[in-house]
Amino acid sequence: MIKIILSGKPGSGKSLLISDFYTDLGSLMNMKGFQFIKHFDEKDKLERLDFFRFSRADILFSADFSSSAPSLLSQINPHIEKIMDELSIFQMVDIFLFDELGLIETEVKQLQQQIITLFSSRIPVIATVNSQNLDRIGYLLNRFKIKVLDLDSQDAENIYLLLIRELYDS
């Protein structure tokens, strides 16, 4: 099954594209996964992430990236069971969507292992990654056949249509 990563610089439209994909097709397919809302400080440094499930509009939790914040692992640990449930391959799911790979799972090995399990499954996966973080997802790129689509060099509308074609041709 298809495994696609949408790559691009911050602001290139990766999160918007995957959100539109969910909005347009979510009523036709059972989609699971996560989307982040990113908050930056005045110097464009990541300050906070709000972690949402695609299947529900509620905030699962927020992670603080400020210098005085507790470790990312200690912030995520109270929510790990909910995260793992959402990403379980032992459920009826047509497709998994994951916004911003490389941001948190490299710090949380249990989550990284679950993402590896997702990519090794027969379930289609569409994920986004900041092009500056491509090296942080080498644990996937070196292990699986993944199509990487670069939003910096291609039109988002064409990529959206390509996603639909890939999904229905597979």
Predicted confidence at residue 162, as pLDDT, reads: 84
Residues pairing with 61 in the sheet: 51
Burial state string for 63-94 with b = 16 or more CB within 10 A and e = fewer than 16: bebeeeeeebeebbeeeeeebeebbeeeeebe
| CA 28 to chain CA centroid, nearest Å | 20
Residue spans of the domains in the chain: they are 3-35+73-169
pLDDT digits (tens, 9 = 90+) for 52-102: 988 767 788 899 998 889 998 899 999 999 888 888 888 889 999 999 999
How crowded is residue 116: how many other Cβ atoms within 10 Å of its Cβ?
15
User: Does pTM surpass 0.85?
Assistant: yes
Assigned fold of 3-35+73-169: Rossmann fold (3.40.50)
